[in-house]
Amino acid sequence: MLDFVGLIWNQLILGPMVNSLVFLYVILFHNFGLSILVFTVIIRLVTMPLTLKQIRMTRGMSQIQPLVKALQQKYANDKASLSRETMALYKTHGVNPLGCLGPMFIQMPIWIGLYQGIIQTLPAQPEKLIGLSQKLYSWLPFVNEAVPLNSKFLWLDLALGPGEQNDFLLPALVGLSMWAVQKMSTVPSADARQAQTNQMMLWMMPLMLTFFSFQLPSGLALYWVASNLIQMGIQYFITGWGNLLPSRKTGPAPQTAPAQPVKEIVQDGNNGSDGKNSRGSNRDRPGTARRRTRSGRNRRNQPR
């Protein structure tokens, strides 16, 4: 079973990824950094439908949070009814919590495949070049002649981890770009539990990727930075900057007018139809008529 899984992995993911990186390396002036950047753009274009679906699902889930909270309060002691009504609510509004996780599940095999692809495409030992040549397609032009590949890009050696090169800039860019993506896509929630979860995810993923980027090849960290920047661009054109930028204060909130006393409401001619006095016979009459009636009655009661 494991051999079959390994065969499928090599044939469907690792092999095409290695050959794509080498082919892009050849046509992009033998620059492996540009190869990773263009490869990232291609992957993001292929997964664009899932990304758009994730953004829409996230927005839809945030919009129905007040309704979900109301159901939780209504069926606090009936878990079966709560689950049934919540699923009905999701179906009515066309949202699915699992739809928010689709791109993440797709990204995981890409990260693992790219990690293995970089290690095999840029081997640390010369003897491993034989293994690389065996993975290259014979029918793909120029790829076999490109071996060995140049791993230098800007100040980096893409085959080595940033920690081995005393480089802190690339891991910082990984963490900062991931934090910006999380900040833009996170929608404020009135539910305290959901808000706490959002706050935890806001910092957990950036810190985790920053830690990994110190240990893994710099080429993978370069992919993360480029992928996060593209995600930010997609998110901006759909939802704007979201929570990334602080909201502008337009000034102090307008002060509401003081409440009008009940007696003034009853005697106010404009609100007479809404007020209630002690004499029900005058309830449906205009306010001015009631005032004339009261004044006439007072004159008759005056002593002569």
pLDDT of residue 227: 92
Percent of the chain scored above 90 by pLDDT? 20
Overall domain count for the chain: 1
pLDDT of residue 58: 77
Token code pair at residue 75: 């069926």
Encode pLDDT of 280-298 as tens digits: 444 444 444 444 444 444 4
Token code pair at residue 7: 């065969």
Token code pair at residue 131: 């293994």
pLDDT of residue 210: 92
Question: Residue 75: in which H helix or E strand, if any?
Answer: none
Picking from 157, 143, 154, the residue whose alpha carbon sits closest to that of residue 26 is 143
What 3 state SS string does 88-103 have? HHHHHHCCCHHHHCHH
* More reliable by pLDDT, 248 or 196: 196
pLDDT surpasses 70 at 88 = yes
Encode pLDDT of 131-168 as tens digits: 787 888 888 878 888 888 888 998 899 988 998 888 89
- Average of pLDDT values for 260-281? 42
- Residue 69 in domain: no
- Residue 96 in domain: no
For the ranges 88-92, 219-223, 285-289, the maximum mean pLDDT occurs at 219-223
pLDDT of residue 295: 46
- Residue 289 in domain: no
- Residue 164 in domain: yes
- Residue 280 in domain: no
Q: How far apart are alpha carbons 90 and 73 in whole angstroms?
A: 17
- Residue 293 in domain: no
Q: Domain range for residue 108?
A: 2-60+101-135+150-239
What letters, b where the CB count within 10 A reaches 16 and e where it falls short, cover 200-214?
eebeebbeebbebbb
- Residue 70 in domain: no
pLDDT surpasses 70 at 75 = yes
- Residue 301 in domain: no
Backbone angles phi, psi at 272, to 5 degrees: -65, -30
Q: Running DSSP on this structure, what letter comes out for residue 5?
A: H
